[in-house]
Amino acid sequence: GTTSTDPYRFKIATYNTLISVKQKDVVHDVRTIKNTIGFDVIALQENYSDSRRAYMMKTLACDSCSLAGYTVNGRGKEELMIFWKKSRFELLQSGSIKTSDKYTERGRTFPALHLNYVRLKVLGTNPELQIIVADNHLPSLVDRDDDGKPNWKLLPKRVAAYQQHMANVNAQIKTWKSNFPGTPIFIGGDYNVNYRKDKRVKAAIFPTESFAKVGGKSNWQQTSFDTKQPGATTFKPIVPIKGQPKNRLIDYVYSVDNGSGVTLRSTVIRYKNLHSDHHAVRATYELPKPAETQ
């Protein structure tokens, strides 16, 4: 694989690790992704277990490790972990924002949704460039398999939590835009909405339209990947779900260039040798270079 020595070339991956996967297998997966498609930063979901997270931090983000990581305890935010290469970045700030209320539906109570983030200094840039990388995991079954529209009739509380989350993420993006102008923003995650349908349906609360309100664009949107690879999927359920298409693109990387001029170069899905029911998604960007001094 290519080494990212150019400080303005940026690779971000997103991967839902799957709750039931053993901790050593999750570590194996992160290393496999790093050594194959590569990443400078990776956003992970479904790390609910305290012991698994502790093991991951000890194994992947030790003092002598090449990665550093952000993890936080507490229901709804604990599952979202972010790792980055120490050789590329210095951590300036990290945090977790509550984006929805908890809700009970069909006899199950779900924790509040969150957006976890890190603000990083990009080493080797002059003048100094910073980036913000965020991570989120949205509830499943919110889009109808037939027409791709929000499933208000069947799961109203779940869809309402989705709507609340997306609105609050946009509010946070606006805050970042005003506090850190010119700082590119990237958001990785499992959105549980099929891009192939969403790009046509354009439901106001779903990713494509919702992020458009703040200038956000996904890796799928900015490439012809979905038309060139009509069978590709980011999710292969362990037990097939009746009526669900087999080519769902539900894991995304979003970028908000925030007036800086970020360019998406490529995107790829990693299928092989991973333990989750999701595949890893990586997007490669060109970060904004400073204007040439006259």
Query: Domain for residue 193, yes or no?
Result: yes
- Give the residue among 105, 208, 104 at the shortest CA–CA distance from 154: 105
Contacts of residue 88, defined as CB under 8 A and 6 or more positions apart, other chains included, come to 4, 7, 40, 122, 123, 124
Phi-psi region of 41 (alpha: psi -120 to 50; beta: other; left: phi over 0): beta
- Distance (Å, rounded) from C-alpha 44 to C-alpha 200? 28
Burial, 126: exposed, middle or buried (Cβ in 10 Å; 0-12, 13-18, 19+)? exposed
Is the pLDDT confidence value at 5 over 80?
A: no
Query: Domain for residue 1, yes or no?
Result: no
Query: Domain for residue 225, yes or no?
Result: yes
Q: What is the mean pLDDT of the chain?
A: 96
Is the pLDDT confidence value at 1 over 50?
A: no
Predicted confidence (pLDDT) per residue in 205-214, tens digit? 999 999 999 9
Going from the C-alpha of 188 to that of each of 15, 41, 43, 168, 185, the distances in angstroms are 8, 10, 6, 16, 10
Domain encompassing residue 210: 9-286
- Distance (Å, rounded) from C-alpha 115 to C-alpha 109? 19
pLDDT at 292: 56
pLDDT at 201: 96
Question: Beta 263-270 vs 129-137: how paired, if at all?
Answer: unpaired
Query: Domain for residue 292, yes or no?
Result: no
Mean pLDDT over 119-147 rounds to: 96
The number of domains in the chain is 1
Contacts of residue 64, defined as CB under 8 A and 6 or more positions apart, other chains included, come to none
Phi-psi region of 26 (alpha: psi -120 to 50; beta: other; left: phi over 0): alpha
- Give the residue among 211, 212, 190, 76 at the shortest CA–CA distance from 142: 190
Amino acid, res. 87 = S
Query: Domain for residue 293, yes or no?
Result: no
Query: Domain for residue 2, yes or no?
Result: no
Query: Domain for residue 132, yes or no?
Result: yes
Say which CATH number the domain at 162 has. 3.60.10.10
- Taking the CA atoms of residue 58, residue 64, residue 70 and residue 73 in that order, the dihedral angle to the nearest 10 degrees is 20
Predicted confidence (pLDDT) per residue in 153-212, tens digit? 999 999 999 999 999 999 999 999 999 999 999 999 999 999 999 999 999 999 999 999
Query: Domain for residue 294, yes or no?
Result: no
pLDDT at 294: 40
Other residues' Cβ atoms within 10 Å of the Cβ of residue 171: 13
Is the pLDDT confidence value at 3 over 70?
A: no
Mean pLDDT over 5-10 rounds to: 92
Q: Which pTM was predicted?
A: 0.96
Predicted confidence (pLDDT) per residue in 71-92, tens digit? 999 999 999 999 999 999 999 9
